[in-house]
Each structure stands twice: as structure tokens, then as C-alpha cells.
Structure 1
């Protein structure tokens, strides 16, 4: 494998810094919580060792792909909506029995505070889906607290996604119990906040949901886990090991990549290392993810980063 340190751009292999941009009167901010590392060939089973030898820019020093974990804060006037709730205040070691390397959360509340938002000033949390790295702080109690962080907020979940949890699998009952009192189910196309509409994008899960934010003559598609890594923009046929319906997920990725090439259309990939905001542009080898830089994004600012991942550094 080529040495990834030879590549000067570190953004594809480090957790995302917090960044904000404006869409007219609406400000959207990525709020870091932590990071999840993965074994590249296990996360994307259609890839090969040659794939990653040719793309070492995606791999950290231990050979993992890097997925950021966090939330998208949407502010319109005094109102605030949060999309997803990170991993929560705990860490996981690398597990040889799964595709995952080490992971940790814990930074979300501090980073919200840096943006001037307390949890009790979030009117709703909208979930792309109910996997643990998106439910996080909405279901788990932080050290020193007596309840999850967002119990004053409505929890907005697609009806097909919530239906899956009415018959919880082993290990899901605690999450279900924590979320249920605040859950309000939403419909496909429903406006859930000024300028924000939910749209169903099944494949990763049965009720996986994207959110389309419009303002200032632009739209931003927060596409959740429709895409996990920027390299899938070049290869939307490559499934993720966590997709419930790989064929449906791949077909949606093809449509999404085409949509992200349209004028005045931006994307937000919550797991996209340190290139979470971007758009799709042509390249010699096909469509490619082009991250937004400060000159592109308008009001861009940094908040505290997610920090380093604790772990043994071994695959």
C-alpha cells in the first residue's frame, strides 16, 4: 500500500472540523461529535486491495477509512433544528468481528455551545435514520446529567423508519424507550422547519431520510448515509456493508450523484471526513466530490474539532 502521508491534503483522512455556511437567511453548521473508523474493504465490499492501493489519500496511518460523526445545525432567526445527534458520550474499541475500527463521540454539546446553542434551544431533532451513530445524544445520558440532552425537543422520524422500531431487535429497546416520548413521525415531502423538507430515500434503511434545505437561491441536500465516503461519488454502484437493501441504495446513489451536479445544488455528507460540504463536478474519470472551500461557502468558521480517536491503531 502506498504511503498516505505522501499526500499533502489531509482532509480525506481526518475527522471534520466544524464549519458554517449561509443559504440566504438560514445558517447551517456542521457540529462535530467524534469519529468512526472502518476497514476499507469491509465497509465497501465491492472494492479490492488494488482500489485502496490506488487511493491511499482516503486511509489514515493505520489503514482505516475515516468517517466523521456529528450533526447539522440549521438556524433561521431565533429558531434551530438539529439533524441527527451524533454518537454520544462514549468510545468503542476496534472490533475484529465487525467492519469497524475504533470510534468515539463526546464533542457535540461543547461544539453546540461554541455556536451559541444549548440543547434546550433546539426545537426539534430530525433523524436521517436510527442507527446508533445518528441517535447518540438523544438516547444516551451524558456524565453528570439525569436525562438525554434533547428531551425538550421533538424527535422527527420518518414513519417507515419508526415502524421498524415498534418491534425492536435485541439491544434496541433502550433506544426505543428513550426516544419514544418525543417522537413525531413525518411524511415524505413534509416541510419540518422553514426551508427544510424531509424526503424519503430508502435503501440504507427502510425509512432512511434526506433533508433538503433551500435559501438564497441554493439548495443543500443533507443526504445522511445515502453516501458514506466521497469515493462512492465516483462509484455509486459500490454498496456499503451497512445498507439494508444494497440494490435500492445503489440506485438512489446514482440519482443523488446526478442531482448534486445540478446548478445551485450543494451536498452535506455527515460521514465525509473533513469534506462534509461540497458538490459534484466532472473530472477526467467521471463525477467527483469537490469540497467547499472558504471562498465557495460564504460565512465559513471553525469550531472545535472532534479530536483524535483513542485505540490501539491496529486493524
Structure 2
């Protein structure tokens, strides 16, 4: 295993972006099937997608099908080694066939980026949905154990309290049993009280409340040397929502509030140099928000490292 110092300063072969002196890595898990977009964002019809030429070929296919992916982001800031969201996970029983019993090389990719699970300090969970918590745990000797044994796992208290009182169906209950409760039982889950204007976790690292998709949903802001990046979580699922922020997800808990959050976030980013990093955006994944004929768009910023 590499030392922590070598991990922090060694080569960055996977897709990554500089944010001042911070390097943000995209750690790929798996592309999502085209059916995902039709199900997740039903308002993004092929005709509507086709009217946004800039979405093709990176973010949509020629027939208007949306491209989406599952990935994490990893970076080191203020001496803390951070992973944001943990994808779907391997070997988990899931109702969604595209997520069921996956066998990906996610941990190898994370390690290749310089973030062996034993060296991670913080795991920030934007929210507690199945495709954002899966690698919280891994299978070991017939049980589920924390993948990041030295890390503190962080989530909004509002988020955890909401699900604690929610009447869960079987699949969601299973997800909590295999991907959330083992972390709690290990004493590794910290609940954050996040004010309306956000909460600093460390110099250059701040979480922002972005409710609607779930009640305690968070976005993550990274800043260094005058440069800033924002990781969306699921307050924005796909770039098609920039020109059409009224398009919501079929699994938004509060669709109206989700739209309000999305509109406010995009307005705050438009015309700035902040790098927007989409938690489900396919490659090139990152870009800057601009205004186009009264609507928002995304000017992609390709990753460094391996082709994105």
C-alpha cells in the first residue's frame, strides 16, 4: 500500500480537474443504461432533448436518449482525504436490474487515483439514496462492513431523521440494512446540522443545503486559491435540466422545492468561473454554467488524465 504522503502527491492517472491547488478526481463506477434517463427524467422527451444541440454527442444520443453515469469524486483539501458519494456498490441485492449484484472495479479505480479506502478521512453523502451510498460498505465473511474504516461518514441530520420516520418499502429497507446501518453500528456516521447558508467542514470545503430531491440533500463546494467547484449530488441529475430546470426527477420527494433549489443554484453559478461537477453527468462531467437565449447551458471542461 502507498503511504498517505505518496497518495496525496503522486500521479493522477484518472480523469481529474484542478481547482486551485486541489485536484478533484472522478472515480467511475459504471455507465447507466439509456432506460435510466427515460425513467428518471420523464419530462426530458426526445423532442425536447433534440432542441438542445449542445447536449450531443456527450450528454445525449442522436435519438434523444440521455446519457448518465454513476461515479464518485475524490480530492484532498486542508489535509483531509475526501470521497463524495459512494455509488451503487458491489454484490448488493437491488430491485433495479441495472444496479443488482454489480461486479465493478470501483475500488481499484479509487486506489489508482491515490485514495486507498484505508486512507480516506471523510465520506460526504449528499443524500441517502441507493446509488449514492452503495460503497459505504463491502462484503466480508458474509456480512457488510464499512469500506472506509478510518473515515467519518457525513450526512445531514435532516436527511437521516427523514428516513428514520419514513415508511420504507422492502428494497429501500434492504439498502439501509446493507449500506447505512453497518456504518452507524460501527460508530462512523456523523449527522450534520447545516444552516441555510451552508456549513464549513474545513478550509476550502463547505456543504450547502439543496433540498427537494430529498429533504436533507447537500451539494459540496471545494475552493482553493480563488478557484471553486461545486458537486451537485442529485439537485441536478443531467445537463438537460440547465435549460429546463422545471424538469424534475420521478423520485424527487418534493418536486416543487427541488425545482426552486435548482433554479436558485443555477442563477448563482451562471456567468461565474465555478466548475460544476455533475454527480451523474457522463463524460466530460464538468463545465461552467452560462446563459443562452434566456436559458442556462453548460460549457464543458474536459478532464485531465485519461480521456474522459
Q: Take 1:90 and 1:21, find their aligned partners in 2: how far apart are those partners?
A: 30
Q: Take 1:212 and 1:259, find their aligned partners in 2: how far apart are those partners?
A: 13
Contact 1:199 1:212 in 2 (8 A): yes
Matches within 5 A, 1:245-264: 245-264=254-273
Contact 1:41 1:49 in 2 (8 A): no
Q: Take 2:285 and 2:141, find their aligned partners in 1: how far apart are those partners?
A: 29
Q: Take 1:106 and 1:51, find their aligned partners in 2: how far apart are those partners?
A: 33
Residue 18 of structure 2: aligned partner: 22
Q: Take 1:146 and 1:211, find their aligned partners in 2: how far apart are those partners?
A: 27
Q: How many residues align?
A: 279
44-53 or 234-243, larger mean C-alpha shift: 44-53
Q: What's the C-alpha RMSD, in Å, of the aligned pairs?
A: 3.0
Residue 67 of structure 2: aligned partner: 66
Specify whether residues 82 and 52 from structure 1 end up closer, same or farther in structure 2 by C-alpha distance, changes over 3 A only. same
Specify whether residues 27 and 131 from structure 1 end up closer, same or farther in structure 2 by C-alpha distance, changes over 3 A only. same
Find out whether 1:175 has 2:199 as its counterpart: no
Structure 2 length as normaliser, TM-score?
Answer: 0.80
Shift of 1:60: 4.8
Q: Which runs of 5+ in 2 are unaligned?
A: 1-12
Shift of 1:270: 1.2
Shift of 1:248: 0.3
Structure 1 length as normaliser, TM-score?
Answer: 0.78
Residue 6 of structure 2: aligned partner: none
Q: Which runs of 5+ in 1 are unaligned?
A: 1-16, 295-299, 306-315
Residue 4 of structure 1: aligned partner: none
Shift of 1:185: 1.0
1:41-81 per-residue CA deviation (whole Å, 9 max, x = no partner) reads 43223343532455674545897532111111121365311
Residue 5 of structure 2: aligned partner: none
SS of 1:165's partner is helix
Find out whether 1:216 has 2:225 as its counterpart: yes
